[in-house]
Structures are given as C-alpha cells and as structure tokens.
Structure 1
Amino acid sequence: MSESVRRGFVANLPVAASVGAYGSVLGVLAAQKGLGWLALALMNISVFAGSAQFVMVEMWGTPLPIVEMTMAVMVINLRYMLIGASLRPLFAGKSLGHKVARMHLVADENWAVTMAEYRRCGTDTGFLLGGGLCVVTAWSAGTLIGHRLGAFVTHPEAFALDFAFVAVFTALAASLFEGRRDILPWLVAAATAIATECVFPGKWYIITGGMAGALVAMLSQPEREVAHAS
C-alpha cells in the first residue's frame, strides 16, 4: 500500500464510523424487505452508492421492478457527473482504466475529504482510492451487520441510527465551506433543491440543486479567484 493510499484511508476513518452506522440502517431495512445477505453484499460491491441503495431496498418486492429501479438509481447517481468534473485536476493525464477503477470507489464522503485535502495542501488519486477503500469497508460491514440484526431491531430510528446519515453530511459540508464566496452558490443550491422537491416527485432535487449551485459557482469564478488571491 502506497503512502498516499494509507493517508487517504486514515483520513476517512472519522467519517467511516458514521458510514457504518447508517449502513446498518440499510441492512435492517434490507432484512425486513426479505433481501438476502449475499444479495446485499453483491449490491455493496457493484452499486456502492448509499442513497441509491436505500431507494433500491425501498422498491424491493415481487415482482422486482427492474426498469423502475434502474431509472431511479440513474437519476440519483447523476450527481456523480458533477463529482467527477470536480476531480478533473486529480485525474489529469491518467488512463481510462485508472479513472474507472478509482471512480467506482468514489462516495460522497471520501470525495469531500479528498477535496478538502486537495484545497489544503494538494493530493492525488491514491488518497482518493484509500478513502474509497475505507468507506466501502465501513459501509459493507455496517450493512451486513445490520442485516443480521434486522430481526431484532425493528425500529432503527429508536437508536438514532437514521440520524447518522444527516450528521455525517452536515460535517462534510462544513469542512468544504470556504467563507463568504460560498454563500451564494450554497443558497441557490438549497433553494433550488427545496423548490424541486416541492414540485417534482422522486430524487430530482439532488440533481437540480447540485447543478444550480455549480452553475452559480462557475459564473462567479472570476470574482472567487480574485477573492482567493487577495
């Protein structure tokens, strides 16, 4: 294991605890839906996207709505287009195989930790990979343990496990906040997401909020660069 991968793994350990906690909620729900332990393990490896997996488990039934499930997962995971674009400086000059292998292990958590590290002192794709290995390990352990406990924990919210998802993303968002120049994009993203959620069913607010905030940040980039230079 390279030093960069090791540093990425260690840097993501604090968020990994929360990832495991809300992963256990998914495991409980999966057990209650009748989803098998092996099927859940395969889902963790092949999909590895927390919010998408929650939707898949929620839609799980007989007969399995494969088309609807696939479309829902695609909509939710469209945000990875924005995440991938933000990682462009790290992947510059890398091969397609290199990019694919690392992007599969990109989650919101290790992406946020990597971006914070990149802004602070610079980093590389090894750091991103190490974080992904840390997060997928915690996520898989949490979901599979939760699945085993599913018969006993019928109401995970009673143990505040459902709040772990909110808590970790609040902490990650705070770590990425760079001051006044971030206020407008964040407000626009939040307002757009809220408006979309009120008008359109499903998870479209994730995409519209992210794209609106990214667009405002891009249009204000010259001003942001001047402010950063000063």
Structure 2
Amino acid sequence: MSEAPVRFTREGIWRGFVLAQPLAPGVAVYGLVFGALAAERGLSWLQATLMSVFVYSGSAQLAALQVWSSHSSAVLALAVTVVAINARYVLYSAAIQPWLSQVSRPRALGTLFLLGDGSWALAMREHAAGYRDAGFILGSGLAGFIPWVGGTLVGQLLAREMPDPRAWGLDFMLPAFAAAIGISLWRGRTDVAPLACAIAVALPMELWAPSGWTIVLAGLAAGVAGALRHGR
C-alpha cells in the first residue's frame, strides 16, 4: 500500500501552530530568562532580539552568554560552542528529510530555519501517525519562534527593573537545562565514561583554559569517549 502524497498547505501550517500552543508559555518564559541574562551581559535589546531571531536556540544562546567576552580570543570559543550545541539539528533534519524532500526547496529551508526541539518532536509524532502535510512542521515551528523572540524582548526590557538576575537565580538556567537534558537522556552505566571524561576535563580547564573554552573542551572529551565506546 503506497503512502499518501506529501502536501504543504495553509491548513497544515495552522494545525501545527495550534497543536504546538501548549509549548508556547514555557518557550516564552525561557526567552524572558535569556533576555534578562543578555541585558546583564551588556547586550542591547536589539542585539538580544536579533540573536534570538537568527540563532533561535535557547541552549546555545545561554551557553554563548557564558562564553561572551569582549576579548577577541573568546570569539572562536563562542562560535564552536554554538555549533557544537546545535549539532543535534543535523539529526533532526535528517529524520524529517523524507517529509521535506518532497516540497520545494524554499519551503523546506524556511521550515528548517524555524525547527525546534518541540516542533521536531510533534512533527515526528504526526508523521508516525500517517499525517503528510509538511506545513505542520512550519506551523509548529512558528508557535515556538514567536514566543521565543517576544520573550527575549520582554526579558531584556524588564531587566532594567531587575538589576541583578543572579539574585533571582536566573544565571542557573543553563546548568538546570543541561541537567534536565542529561537526566532525560541517561541510559545507565554505558554513559558513565563520557560523563567522567567531561568532568575530568572541565575541572582543570575551569582554572587554566581561556574564558569560555571549558564547555567546549569538556563536550569534545565526552564526544570522543562516546565515539570510542560505540566503536568497540
């Protein structure tokens, strides 16, 4: 039995936008936190908003704030951090390639630009259920993109009334996010080696490495350990 042909319609976009609405409040709060921390780091409202528009990755943007520095030596660390954290989108896009490969390239690229963790998960669920309107991916992506950018702007402006985000614990957002992701992905003893390697590298590098490089080097160490583990 052949599969239904892939479409890209307004109805699909609207369906994705509506079904992704339960995720929107959390995304808006996440954006608000980023905006406040960006202001604390000295970014203007325009810089913070443009960063959310063109990077559109909460984890990468929060990590970038940890690396943020006026020193030119930190620029490479910042770029590597963003690329490394966003590498998962290569897998995301490969997973939905059978769907988007059947629509025009401008539509596919525009949809991929707005792809997020939540919209990808929703899209995969719909695809598994037999839904074949690729507009769903774009609609669910817009449902996350709009509150993310809006939350960033509001958080940046409200930061004037909140001069020290650390007093509210907002600087703990990235470690908390990373811990939540790590716990959700934990698979038992097989993950001990990558975790141990990351810790072993991170502790001394926090003292010796240039600003921002700790997270990069620890991530690379964990990646190498994981690759060696699977290569056996």
Q: Do both share a fold (TM > 0.5)? A: yes
> Does the alignment pair 1:108 with 2:117?
yes
Distance 1:42 1:150 in 2: 17
Seen in structure 2, the aligned counterparts of structure 1 residues 12 and 74 have a Cα distance that, compared at 3 Å, is same
Quote how far apart the aligned CAs of 1:186 are: 4.9
> Does the alignment pair 1:130 with 2:139?
yes
> Does the alignment pair 1:53 with 2:61?
yes
Distance 1:188 1:92 in 2: 38
> Does the alignment pair 1:78 with 2:87?
yes
Structure 1 residues 4-153: aligned runs within 5 Å: 4-63=12-71, 65-153=74-162
Deviation readout 1:64-95 (Å, 9 max, x if unpaired): 53222111111111111111111122123334
Give the root-mean-square deviation of aligned CA atoms: 3.4
Contact in 2 for aligned 1:192/1:208 (Cα 8 Å): no
User: Moved runs in structure 1, 4+ residues, more than 6 A?
Assistant: none
Q: Could you tell me the percent identity over the aligned residues?
A: 29
Q: Which residue of 2 aligns with 1:197?
A: 198
Seen in structure 2, the aligned counterparts of structure 1 residues 28 and 117 have a Cα distance that, compared at 3 Å, is same
Contact in 2 for aligned 1:156/1:162 (Cα 8 Å): no
Distance 1:100 1:30 in 2: 28
Seen in structure 2, the aligned counterparts of structure 1 residues 58 and 187 have a Cα distance that, compared at 3 Å, is same
Distance 1:90 1:68 in 2: 35
Quote how far apart the aligned CAs of 1:123 are: 3.7
Quote how far apart the aligned CAs of 1:196 are: 5.0
Quote how far apart the aligned CAs of 1:151 are: 2.5
Alignment coverage as a number of residue pairs: 199
Deviation readout 1:195-217 (Å, 9 max, x if unpaired): 45334442627x849x87xx8xx
In structure 2, runs of 5+ residues without a counterpart are 1-8, 203-214
Seen in structure 2, the aligned counterparts of structure 1 residues 196 and 121 have a Cα distance that, compared at 3 Å, is farther
Distance 1:43 1:159 in 2: 22
Q: TM-score, with normalisation over the residues of structure 2? A: 0.71
Quote how far apart the aligned CAs of 1:120 are: 3.0
**Structure 1 residue matching 2:160: 3-state secondary structure:** coil
Distance 1:200 1:113 in 2: 36
Counterpart residue identity of residue 11, structure 1: L
